[in-house]
Amino acid sequence: MEKSEKIVLAVVAVALVIVLLFLAPFLGIVLWQLGVFNIGSTPVTSSGFAKIKPQLVSADFEEDGTFSALFTNGAGTTITLNQTGIVVSDASGLKCETVRIEPASVSAGDNFRLTSSGCTALSQEDTYNLAFSIPYHTTIGNITRERTENGKIRGLVE
């Protein structure tokens, strides 16, 4: 092989390496967008809840903006939920239109279902992020205490 052929071969090899270095990130982005690196769904997580705990396995957000989940009363005594005061809002602060709970009176350790509709509609596989403000009261003897539980639930639209 002549010296000029070696130079041409070296220049072509360097040019190929440079092109690959510039194309690799774009190729990675394309593969990522196609879902090649998706190893599973986003887990449902919660934060902030202290006495009223969401049962994350039951949390479900539909594309039409309907959310449902079971919550457990961890207050140690019967709580009475204030249905009209419950607020569920999305990450942008928009409130869901309708919130229902059942039952309104929940014994310690028992569950209640919270359902909200009219939340911002999302596409399947989008991530939802909801904030909850749940007012309730406890009565022990003749003492009634008003409380509000605040927390967030984040997960994948199903």
Of 35, 33, 56, residue with least CA distance to 46: 56
The range of the structural domain enclosing residue 11 comes to 1-39
Determine the 3-state secondary structure of 2 from DSSP. coil
- Beta carbons within 8 Å of 22's beta carbon, 6+ residues apart: none
Q: Do 90 and 25 fall within a single domain?
A: no
- For residue 29, the one-letter residue type is I
Supply the CATH number for residue 65's domain.
2.60.40
Q: Do 28 and 61 fall within a single domain?
A: no
Partners of 150 in beta bridges: 133
Tokens (6 digits) for 34: 């196609």
pTM, rounded to two decimals: 0.72
Determine the pLDDT at residue 36: 64
Nearest-angstrom CA–CA distance, 87 and 65: 15
**42 pLDDT higher than 80:** no
**Residue 82 DSSP symbol:** -
Q: Do 28 and 50 fall within a single domain?
A: no
pLDDT tens digits, one per residue of 72-97: 999 999 999 988 889 999 888 889 99
